[in-house]
């Protein structure tokens, strides 16, 4: 299990990946930070993922930032669950 990747929820829609990286650097070395956006509008969906360099950094980040007030929002930070396989939702399969 890769417990270095963290789910970060309840992000402000004004958050950007650089400010998220800057915040989590306080807990340790950040490998990557990604804010999930809507494919159509390009707007933030209000959550993202931060990958920390070590499990120790990830644990420290959870302790520091879960329920932490940032940009007037209380963050939700925990270990990211593995991505579930998506079902094929194409139109032609329905009939």
SS3 state of residue 79: strand
pLDDT tens digit sequence for 73-93 = 999 999 998 878 777 666 555
What is the pTM (predicted TM-score) of this model?
Answer: 0.85
Provide the residue range defining the domain that includes 34: 5-82
Residue at 95 is within a domain: no
- What is the rounded CA–CA span in Å between residue 4 and residue 51? 6
Residue 77 counted as domain residue: yes
What CATH number has the domain bearing residue 39? 3.30.70.330
Angle at 9 between CA 6 and CA 15, to 5 degrees: 100
What are the tens digits of pLDDT across the range 4-48?
A: 999 999 999 999 999 999 999 999 999 999 999 999 999 999 999
- Per the structure, how many domains does the chain have? 1
17 within domain boundaries: yes
């Amino acid at each position: 299990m890769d417990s270095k990747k963290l789910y970060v929820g309840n992000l402000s829609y004004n958050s950007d990946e650089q400010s998220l990286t800057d915040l989590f650097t306080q807990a340790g070395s950040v490998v990557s930070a990604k804010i999930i956006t809507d494919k159509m509008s390009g707007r933030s969906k209000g959550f993202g993922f931060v990958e920390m360099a070590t499990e120790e950094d990830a644990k420290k980040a959870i302790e520091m930032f879960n329920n932490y007030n940032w940009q007037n929002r209380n963050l939700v930070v925990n270990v990211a669950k593995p991505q579930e396989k998506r079902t094929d939702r194409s139109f032609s399969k329905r009939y």
